[in-house]
Structure 1
Amino acid sequence: MADTADTADTYIAFLRAINVGGRTVKMERLRELFAELGLTDVRTYIQSGNVFFRTGELDRAALTARIEAHLAEALGYPVPVMLRTVAEVAEIVERDPFAGVEVTPELRLCVLFLSEPLPAGTEFPVHSPKGDWDILDATPGAAFVVVHLRGGRLGTDPSTAFPAGYRGRATARFFHTTVKILAAARKS
């Protein structure tokens, strides 16, 4: 396992709209697209759009915009990108607001990686009007959502579980998958 100093410039790109809705991108192609931007040590994890890479670029907003523009041009559709450092994802995992949630077959625990913080003054928990999700907590870059299944299926896309007035974008990962993504990103 690499230590924090070794991963200080390692990013995890959480991509939305990869391999869903008939939009298929092979991970080899995705790695090529990131490498074309001059990013190094590019790796992917599972087929849902998780890309690890290293860069010395410090302006995260500019880097995000550059990646999004390149992906849109190459793939022909927009791909929102939420960039996080390995340390930031470690903080999310360590925070674990799900620790007190009794896991049942009818629940899914999700992390929503946010493009911008939830509105100031949001009080938790936030419950959906239909009762299909609850936002338990949030940081400026992530929201922690319990999704209630309906007939064994997700009733709503967890990345749309926001209080009214939220203008940002998000992509969802199950919490247990986020833990695995972190472990994979820490490997050299």
Structure 2
Amino acid sequence: MPSARCGSSWSCRSSLRSGECSSGSASTRRPSTTRSSTTPCSTTSPTPSTNSSTATDVSDVHVAFVRAVMIGREGLHRPVLLDMFERAGAAEATSYIATGNVSFRVETDAVPAVVESVEADLERLLGRPTPLFVRPLDDVVALVDSNPFANAPRGPVRDEVVTFFRDRVPDHLAPPIEAPNGDFVAFAAGPAELFSVVIDRDDRQPSAPGGYLERLAGEPVTTRAVTTLERIVEKLTGPGR
């Protein structure tokens, strides 16, 4: 079976079926209004859209995914989190959903300083290391536009999720990676992300892939539903891109 690891092109995605192209998802999967059911396999990287009624210039907009937090718990209220970014030098900090997702504007070479400052503030507040996983908005747009779950395994899928690594996916984590209890399958990899489907269970709540993949990788990761990424992109670039 060929590796499902991809290179730098977001549209490079392989299925578990020896590289077959899939025309869509099974009827048991979550319906989507944002993905084409006839998207072909491609080796051409999509061009991110920057036409937006919300952000006319996204070249210096980034999205931070905060690991293992819920807004409103442990003193981490939305204004507190946004203030951390603003005091670190970021502009236009905006929070999305309750799972710790923040967009902000800053020049690319200033991102490491923002990350260092916010992580230090989070550790002081929460009493534990709390890493950020930051991506340029252009990269998040390209990820969503690439329709990465078009070639996902068919079956009773509960969730489609993306696991973010800090820099790159370790070489030894080559998909497919299946949970020992069968709760999920990481079926494809991007440059610094793994793409997984969580299997629907009649008898119990299935576990998400983050914890298991983190143990295999030996480093922190954070996981988001692809619908969360879609909502962030729509908010920042406008509907109907």
TM-score by length of 2: 0.67
Give the CA deviation at 1:113: 1.5
Q: Which residue is 1:23 aligned to?
A: 74
The match for 2:183 is 132
Structure 1 residue 119 displacement after superposition: 2.1
Residue 167 (structure 2) aligns with: 116
Count of matched residue pairs: 187
Distance apart, 1:101 and its partner CA? 3.8
| Structure 1 stretches of at least 4 aligned residues deviating more than 6 Å after TM superposition | 102-105
Aligned to 1:169: 220
Judge conservation of contact 1:125–1:137 (CA < 8 Å) in 2: yes
Distance 1:76 1:122 in 2: 30
**Deviation at 1:60?**
4.2
User: Which TM-score applies when normalising by structure 1?
Assistant: 0.83
Give the CA deviation at 1:38. 1.7
Q: Of 195, 199, 202, which aligns to 1:148?
A: 199
2 CA distance for matches of 1:2 and 1:138? Answer: 32
Q: How does 1:62-73 map to 2 (within 5 A)?
A: 62-73=113-124
Flag structure 1 segments of 5+ consecutive residues without an equivalent: none
User: 1:31 Cα shift?
Assistant: 0.9
Q: Matched residues in 2 for 1:80 and 1:49: separation?
A: 11
- Bigger share in helix: 1
Q: Call closer, same or farther: CA 1:59–1:19 in 2, change over 3 Å.
A: same
Structure 2 match to 1:34 = 85
In 2, Cα distance between the equivalents of 1:38 and 1:62?
A: 9
Deviates more, 1:127-136 or 1:4-13: 4-13
Q: Percent identity?
A: 27
Task: Note if contact 1:119-1:165 (Cα within 8 Å) is conserved in structure 2.
Answer: no
SS in 2 for 1:162: helix
Using a 3 Å threshold, how does the CA distance of structure 1 residues 88 and 2 change in structure 2: closer, same or farther?
farther
Q: Distance in 2 between matches of 1:43 and 1:95?
A: 25
Which residue type is aligned with residue 97 of structure 1?
Answer: P
Determine which structure has more spread, i.e. the larger CA radius of gyration. Answer: 2
Cα distance in structure 2, aligned partners of 1:154 and 1:32? 35
C-alpha deviation, 1:95, in angstroms: 2.6
The answer to whether the 8 A contact 1:4-1:87 is kept is no
Alignment match, 2:25:
none
Report deviation, 1:151. Answer: 3.7
C-alpha distance after superposition, 1:84-142 (max 9, x if no partner)? 11011112112323113477765210011211322225432221222111111111221
The structure-2 alpha-carbon separation of the partners of 1:73 and 1:98, relative to structure 1 and needing over 3 Å to count, comes to same
Q: Measure, in 2, the Cα distance between the counterparts of 1:120 and 1:55.
A: 31
Superimposed CA distance per residue, residues 115-174 of structure 1 (whole angstroms, 9 cap, x where no aligned partner): 132222543222122211111111122111111233475432321242874122211111
Counterpart of 1:58 in 2: which secondary structure? helix
Find the counterpart in structure 2 of residue 79 from structure 1: 130
Distance 1:98 1:182 in 2: 17
**Structure 2 CA distance for partners of 1:116 and 1:96, relative to 1, 3 Å:** same
Question: In structure 2, what is the Cα distance between the partners aligned to 1:155 and 1:61?
Answer: 35
Of 62-71 and 129-138, the range deviating more from structure 2: 62-71
